[in-house]
Amino acid sequence: MTTKQAVPTVTLNDGKTIPQLGFGVFQIEPENTLEATLAALEVGYRHLDTAEMYGNEKEVGQAVEQSGIPRSEIFVTSKLNNPFHAPEDALEQGKKSAELLGGYTDLFLIHWPIASVIDFVPTWKSLEELYHQGVSRSIGTSNFHAHHLNKLRDQTTITPAVNQIEVHPYLAQEELRAYGREHGIATEAWSPIAQGLVLDDPTIVRIAGAVGKSPAQVTLRWHIQRGDIIFPKSVTRSRIEENFDIFDFELSGEDMTDITTLDKGQRTGPDPDKFDYVPA
Ligand code: NDP
């Protein structure tokens, strides 16, 4: 059984609110995106996380429209792809994403800093413009380290509302999350179950057995109790439901610590300082 009203919200530094649990669509083929996203909306998710890079913004927009749920009740995030960091391109892409996603984005992010390729400060200024124009209601960063965020703080006006980074029990990101708390930047945790990697972990399996939930539910609950924003991905209806059903139990302080201490600095994706991929 899922409880549709139970998802908490997080208030961002610009006053907007975002559901703490959403649905991610990375690696969902465009032809499967409509069905998966409609399933998520039917289950009760009201927050969708897509990106130009995923090639499925259009289908996410179609799902929002076909769901019959008012656009204003769904929080939709998209991200600026790496080839479009030139300021004019960023403005154009921000508008394109907005058009595909119901006239505006709730949140638009710089997907990767790609600092070795192009300075992201002018790119961020374009996002500031998109914010002022109402094209995106909030703006933020993704895969930014503290040193990238410090540069924005020194050279730009708007503090990112969120920083979306890889976080899961094997990469707990305590320092960068603390930086976010200190500077009013909400942390969004991508790959919250490490694409399934943590689900066989003996500690997580033990806690799951003790609380009568699945390893995925325990891991997602750990994120929720830490205060991070998450959007697990699945194309499987039963898992879409399972991942939503995490608000009827609580992990003890001891369980929380046991999971956090699994941290071994293990990334499933690239280190943002070493990632400079720009497709032709
Ligand atoms: P997740 O950690 O959400 O894991 C998804 C994988 O786990 C899929 O293979 C899925 O399988 C499986 N799965 C989902 N739920 C369960 C479950 N309950 N039990 C067992 N297996 C399960 O990985 P993602 O990388 O997709 O991350 C989530 C979202 O984060 C993305 O969709 C995207 O929105 C965002 N993201 C952002 C990035 C960035 O650079 N900003 C990078 C990566 C992700 P199946 O679908 O077959 O059911």
Cα 72-75-78 angle, rounded to 5 deg: 125
pLDDT in tens, 111-146: 999 999 999 999 999 999 999 999 999 999 999 999
Q: Which ligand 1 atom is at minimum distance from the Cα of 234?
A: 46
What is the predicted pLDDT for the residue at 46?
98
170 vs 75: CA distance, rounded Å: 28
| Helical ranges in the chain per DSSP H | 30-43, 57-67, 87-100, 120-132, 146-155, 174-183, 202-211, 215-226, 237-244, 253-260
What is the predicted pLDDT for the residue at 276?
87
The mean pLDDT of 14-29, rounded to a whole number, is 98
Q: Smallest Cα–Cα separation from 237: which of 14, 68, 2?
A: 2
Catalytic annotation present for 54? yes
CA of 67 to the centre of ligand 1 (A): 22
pLDDT in tens, 236-279: 999 999 999 999 999 999 999 999 999 999 999 999 999 988 87
CB 134 within 8 A of CB 104: yes
191 vs 102: CA distance, rounded Å: 26
Q: Which ligand 1 atom is at minimum distance from the Cα of 168?
A: 2
What is the predicted pLDDT for the residue at 254?
98
Q: What's domain 7-195+226-250's superfamily in CATH? A: NADP-dependent oxidoreductase domain (3.20.20.100)
Cα 188-255-263 angle, rounded to 5 deg: 55
CA of 217 to the centre of ligand 1 (A): 13
For the chain, the average pLDDT equals 97
Confidence of residue 1 (pLDDT cuts 50, 70, 90): very low
**CB of 164 shorter than 6 A to ligand 1:** yes
What is the predicted pLDDT for the residue at 3?
47
Element (H, E) at 189: strand 186-190
What is the predicted pLDDT for the residue at 269?
97
pLDDT in tens, 90-103: 999 999 999 999 99
Residue 188 scores a pLDDT above 60: yes
Residue 2 scores a pLDDT above 80: no
What is the predicted pLDDT for the residue at 279?
78
Phi, psi of 153 (to 5 degrees): -60, -40
CA of 271 to the centre of ligand 1 (A): 18
